[in-house]
């Protein structure tokens, strides 16, 4: 695991972030500042494999973007694909969207931890701020009204073991993931604007 945090990999990650941010800017310009379920669903409706790749790319963009609500991607997947495949695709996408923030947190120093705790005091509601939380507290953190990236940064800088981090993320966001996927699957008139706060307290 230590090999992930070398200087060379950090440089590569910085370049990936730059590319992702550029793509986010172009997408926001393309969709006039907001991306809806309909926008994603009409990107490539006739080629499912390409639509799946586009969605996974958007999940990567979500890893660095605080404006795009991940529920839009969950619902778009439910609208485009059979339910079982949509749920699987969304689980993969969630991993893609949540791992980068953890890796950045792992490479950061104590100053980032102090900044996070000062700016987001909710991080200390589950467990004292400087120790890596156990599986249950880490899972409960995903139910607090905090952005996906902020919790990832916090658990990374606290040196939460990677397996525990990933499992807690999947468990904590599974209710929202399932709800949005079913919404996209069953809704005859998908939401025409950006998604509001998630039904389980998961913000973005």
- Residue 181 and residue 86 in contact, taking contact as beta carbons nearer than 8 Å: yes
Q: Check pLDDT > 80 for residue 50.
A: no
Weakest-pLDDT range from 12-16, 151-155, 160-164: 12-16
39 is written with which tokens?
A: 């926008």
Output 193 or 143, whichever has higher pLDDT. 143
Q: Whole-model pTM?
A: 0.74
pLDDT tens digits along 173-184: 999 999 999 988
User: Looking at beta carbons, which pairs linking 168-172 to residues 24 or more positions away fall under 8 Å?
Assistant: 168/135, 168/138, 168/139, 168/141, 168/142, 169/94, 169/95, 169/98, 169/142, 170/91, 170/94, 170/95, 171/139, 171/142, 172/138, 172/139, 172/140, 172/141, 172/142, 172/143, 172/202
pLDDT digits (tens, 9 = 90+) for 15-37: 766 776 676 666 666 666 566 66
pLDDT at 174: 92
Query: Is the pLDDT reported for residue 136 higher than 60?
Result: yes
Neighbours of 161 (CB within 10 A): 13
């Amino acid at each position: 695991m230590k090999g992930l945090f070398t200087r060379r990999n950090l440089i590569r990650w910085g370049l990936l972030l730059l590319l992702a941010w550029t793509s986010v800017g172009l997408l926001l310009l393309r969709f006039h500042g907001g991306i809806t379920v309909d926008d994603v669903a009409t990107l490539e409706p006739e080629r499912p494999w390409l639509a799946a790749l586009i969605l996974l790319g958007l999940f990567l963009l979500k890893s660095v973007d605080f404006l795009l609500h991940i529920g839009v991607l969950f619902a778009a997947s439910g609208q485009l694909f059979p339910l079982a495949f949509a749920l699987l695709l969304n689980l993969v996408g969630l991993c893609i969207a949540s791992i980068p923030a953890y890796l950045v947190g792992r490479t950061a120093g104590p100053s980032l931890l102090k900044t996070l705790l000062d700016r987001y005091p909710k991080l200390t509601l589950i467990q004292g701020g400087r120790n890596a939380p156990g599986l249950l507290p880490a899972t409960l953190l995903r139910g607090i009204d905090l952005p996906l990236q902020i919790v990832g940064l916090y658990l990374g800088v606290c040196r939460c073991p990677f397996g525990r981090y990933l499992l807690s993320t999947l468990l904590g966001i599974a209710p929202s993931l399932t709800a949005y996927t079913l919404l996209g699957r069953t809704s005859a008139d998908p939401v025409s604007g950006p998604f509001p706060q998630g039904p389980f307290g998961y913000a973005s």
